[in-house]
Structure formats: structure tokens, C-alpha cells
């Protein structure tokens, strides 16, 4: 009786050089009762007698079919498991031994409805929403530029190299934002000054003085004053700017 897996057998001793039945291609050579076998098929099946040595191609087909069917059923089960009816997959957490869905909900701001005295006030509020949507992204970009500039300046060795870098940044900012600033209305420009203070926690005047010096800060402040604006104007979300803060929160949260 023979049972085994042979990758490159050189010889098998058998009572009869009868070739094995199956699809495997064999080379047989009988010399003095010794049977040399060179199969290109590796799996040998259990035999009842040495005269009935054969390659179990039929059994292999059956095994292959069964494995294929099993894999198909497993894949179908996995797809059915991942299929969600009228919902979506969410993470889970274990709370007091019980597995429950875990969903992190975004913040939702609920404010008291505004009461407008007349249509003019309603239009002013709608205009404020448009102005915030236009200037808020710019104020956030300014904050990002300031953070990156400050972090890079910390790596510079001396004051001279820092001043040279500030000039490069100033030139780049002018090239990038001059065209956009020209498209802003006067009210949008004043709003942008406040939003920069909100994002950076410093007024525009303080930022200019910190990076470019007191002389340029004073010059830009005087220039803004000609148009009735002030770079020293701060942001008061709890006071006069409460309605601006309300609009900003709702815009950032996608509620308006």
C-alpha cells in the first residue's frame, strides 16, 4: 500500500510495471523488478494492492470542486454579512460588557431665531453671511502663513537672515493677495481685519509690528485710517460682534 506526496521520485519498487491510470504523464522503465517513475503530477493516492497504483485524478477533481464551492459560499456569506439594509456600518465599543454602536456626532449650534424689525435688517444679515463666507477663508490662510513663517524663523541663526526672510514673505503675500484684496468691498475689508484678530488672537497692527517693525505698522495704520478703518480694531464675540460670531459658527459647521 502506498500513500504519499512525491515531488521528484526516482524509483518505486512494485510487483508489476503496470502504468498508473489517470491524467498524469508518466515515464516507466522496468529493470530486474525495479520500476522507475517520473511523474509530472505530485499527489499519490492510497492503493489496495501494489498492482493498482494509480494517480487519483478523479479524486483530485472532486476535492478541487469541493474547495471551489466552499470558497464561493464563504465569499457569498462575507458579502451578505457586509451588506447593510437601509443603513451604514459604524464602529462599536464595549460598555459594561455590551457591544454598542459608536458614532461621533458633529457639533450643532442652536440659536434663538433672529427677529428683524424690517426688511432692511434682514438684507443686512444676509449680506453679513455673504461677507463672512468670502473673508473667513482669507483670515484662516493668513493664520497659516503666520504660523509657518514664525516656525521657520525660529530656525534662522540671526536677525539679518530673519529680516531677509520677512521681505520674501511680504513680497509673496502681495503677489498672492493683492488681486483678491482689490475685489473686496470696504465693509468686507473691515470685517477681514476683525476676523484676522479672531483667528490669530492678535490685531493686524500687532502682527505687522511684530514681523515688520513699528514703522511699517504705523504706516499701514495711517493708510487704513484714511478710509475710516483701523488695524488696531479687535474682535469682541461676546459684545458688539456677537452676531458675526454666530454667523461664523454656523458657516464653519455647514448650517448656513
Residue-wise pLDDT tens for the chain (256 aa)? 444 444 444 444 444 444 444 444 444 444 444 444 444 444 444 444 444 444 455 666 777 777 777 776 666 655 555 555 677 778 888 888 898 988 888 788 888 999 999 999 999 999 999 999 999 999 999 899 888 988 898 898 888 898 889 889 888 888 888 888 889 998 999 999 999 999 998 888 888 888 888 877 887 788 777 667 788 888 999 999 999 999 999 999 888 8
**In whole angstroms, what is the distance from residue 132 CA to residue 251 CA?**
8
Q: Facing residues of 5 across strands?
A: 43
171 within domain boundaries: yes
Q: 30 with 70, same domain?
A: no
Q: 134 with 242, same domain?
A: yes
10 Å CB burial of residue 48 (0-12, 13-18, 19+) is exposed
Q: Which pLDDT value is given to residue 137?
A: 94
Q: Which pLDDT value is given to residue 77?
A: 57
Q: 95 with 125, same domain?
A: no
Q: 47 with 83, same domain?
A: no
**In whole angstroms, what is the distance from residue 158 CA to residue 16 CA?**
96
The pTM of the full predicted model, rounded to 2 decimals, is 0.59
Q: 70 with 41, same domain?
A: no
Q: Which pLDDT value is given to residue 169?
A: 87
221 within domain boundaries: yes
Q: 88 with 140, same domain?
A: no
Q: 164 with 241, same domain?
A: yes
Q: Which pLDDT value is given to residue 123?
A: 96
Q: What is the DSSP string of 3-53?
A: -EE-SS---EE-S--PPPPSS----EEEETTEEEE--S--EEPP-SSGGG-
Give backbone dihedrals phi and psi of 103, rounded to 5 degrees, phi first: -130, 130
Q: 152 with 238, same domain?
A: yes
Alpha-carbon dihedral sign for residues 118, 119, 125, 131: negative
182 within domain boundaries: yes
Q: Which pLDDT value is given to residue 79?
A: 53
Total tally of structural domains belonging to the chain: 3
Please enumerate, as own/partner, the contacts of 118-126 that have beta carbons within 8 Å and a separation of 24 or more.
125/243
Q: 171 with 125, same domain?
A: yes
155 within domain boundaries: yes
Domain end call among 55, 73, 93: 55
Q: What strand order describes the sheet that includes 28-31?
A: 12-13, 34-37, 28-31
Alpha-carbon dihedral sign for residues 197, 198, 202, 208: negative
Domain that holds residue 72: 64-104
Amino acid at each position: 500500500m502506498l500513500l504519499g506526496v512525491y515531488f521528484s521520485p526516482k524509483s518505486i519498487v512494485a510487483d508489476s510495471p503496470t502504468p498508473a491510470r489517470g491524467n498524469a504523464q508518466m515515464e516507466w522503465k522496468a529493470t530486474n523488478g525495479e520500476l522507475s517513475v517520473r511523474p509530472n503530477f505530485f499527489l499519490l493516492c492510497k492503493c489496495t494492492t501494489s498492482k493498482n497504483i494509480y494517480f487519483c485524478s478523479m479524486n483530485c477533481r472532486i476535492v478541487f470542486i469541493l474547495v471551489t464551492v466552499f470558497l464561493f459560499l464563504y465569499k457569498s456569506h462575507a458579502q451578505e454579512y457586509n451588506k447593510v439594509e437601509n443603513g451604514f456600518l459604524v464602529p462599536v465599543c464595549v460598555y459594561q460588557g455590551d457591544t454598542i454602536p459608536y458614532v461621533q456626532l458633529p457639533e450643532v449650534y442652536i440659536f434663538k431665531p433672529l427677529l428683524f424689525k424690517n426688511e432692511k435688517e434682514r438684507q443686512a444679515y444676509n449680506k453679513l453671511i455673504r461677507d463672512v463666507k468670502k473673508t473667513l477663508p482669507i483670515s484662516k490662510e493668513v493664520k497659516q502663513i503666520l504660523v509657518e513663517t514664525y516656525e521657520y524663523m525660529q530656525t534662522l541663526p540671526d536677525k539679518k537672515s530673519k529680516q531677509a526672510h520677512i521681505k520674501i514673505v511680504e513680497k509673496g503675500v502681495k503677489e498672492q493677495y493683492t488681486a483678491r484684496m482689490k475685489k473686496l468691498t470696504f465693509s468686507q475689508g473691515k470685517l477681514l481685519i476683525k476676523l484676522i484678530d479672531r483667528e490669530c488672537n492678535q490685531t493686524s497692527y500687532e502682527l505687522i509690528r511684530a514681523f515688520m517693525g513699528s514703522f511699517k505698522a504705523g504706516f499701514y495704520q495711517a493708510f487704513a485710517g484714511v478710509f475710516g478703518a483701523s488695524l488696531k480694531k479687535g474682535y469682541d464675540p461676546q459684545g458688539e460682534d456677537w452676531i458675526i460670531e454666530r454667523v461664523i459658527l454656523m458657516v464653519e459647521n455647514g448650517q448656513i
